[in-house]
Amino acid sequence: MFNYTCLNPIAGVGLDLLSDEYNKVDDIKDAQAVLVRSAAMHDMELPKTLEVVARAGAGVNNIPLDKCAEAGIVVFNTPGANANGVKELVFAGMLLAARDVVGGIEWVKGEEGNADVAKLAEKQKKNFAGSEIAGKKLGVIGLGAIGVKVANAATHLGMEVYGYDPYISVNAAWSLSRNVNHVNAVEEIYKNCDYITIHVPLLDSTKKMINAEAIAMMKPTTVVLNFARDLLVDEEAMVAALEEGKIAKYVSDFPNPTTVGKKGCIVTPHIGASTEESEDNCAVMAVKEIRDFLENGNITHS
């Protein structure tokens, strides 16, 4: 029995695990446990009652880790629980960069009611021609739960895959397909890959890791995909490079004024983990972590 609060809506299948014997409270000041998705907790006052925070997601940059550590508050995330959702959107992003799906759909929409649309389309389709991702080189930076899934799936699509992770875990190494080439220097990825996707946590050491210097090593045809965190990329430098044709496209799941509407930027509204399955998995894992901690004193995934 404990008091908990949700700072964001959390999938019902997770909340079902907190039935009547647990008290849902409206205010963090009365909570022993907090469930959070993307709400920023940095400016919140953490009450003395608070024992545990569980983030229904992978990144924990919305949580004041130092403040929690000082106060003895345990912080959990849900590693891997939304990895499929994010992985699938990475491929959507790659295909949106390779093929003019959006332009084609917009053109078709403009022909609503035109009985000759099919005939016209045959003439227009040269304007929407693209390229294939099969046979292209994909660099995956960060081989955690999401990066490994992206790397393995890409091999099945016929891509030549290169993975970089200086801290690769034994589990990740075992999960990697034999067809993924592990490189020791990230520069090899910058210099050689057609598509580069980042899957690292946002830390002081990774902030703006894709900076002007890294971008300068890339080919003018390279596409960079960012479904991890926008601050991993120096987006001002990215937009400048796109403007000058030094790089081809930047696909990001983090809308902000630097990139939205800018040449070569394809931006989605942070929906990588927004699938029914990922939301359910994250909610269930987060609630189980809280219960296991408060009821049995177990610490998993913190």
Report the residue number, 38 or 258, with the smaller CB distance to ligand MLT: 38
What distance in Å separates the CA atoms of residue 213 and residue 240, rounded to the nearest whole number? 13
* Total interface residues for ligand MLT by CB under 6 A: 8
Could you say which residues in the range 11-50 bind ligand MLT, by CB under 6 A?
37-38
Report the residue number, 286 or 290, with the smaller CB distance to ligand MLT: 286
Query: Does residue 97 bind ligand MLT (CB under 6 A)?
Result: no
Q: How far is the CB of 223 from ligand MLT (least distance, A)?
A: 21
- Ranked by CB distance to ligand MLT, the top (closest) residue is 57
Among 82, 84, 152, 281, binds ligand MLT (CB under 6 A): 82
Chain center to CA of 301: 18
Contact region with ligand MLT (CB under 6 A), list: 52-60, 116-124, 125-133, 209-217: 52-60
Contact 103, 125 (CB under 8 A): no
Binding mask 240-279 for ligand MLT (x = CB under 6 A): ------------------------------x--x------
Query: Does residue 79 bind ligand MLT (CB under 6 A)?
Result: no
Query: Does residue 222 bind ligand MLT (CB under 6 A)?
Result: no
The pairs formed by 107-110 with CB atoms below 8 angstroms and a separation of 24 or more are none
**Residue that is written with structure tokens 């403007």 in the block:** 243
Report the residue number, 138 or 228, with the smaller CB distance to ligand MLT: 228
Binding region for ligand MLT (CB under 6 A) = 37-38, 57-59, 82, 270, 273
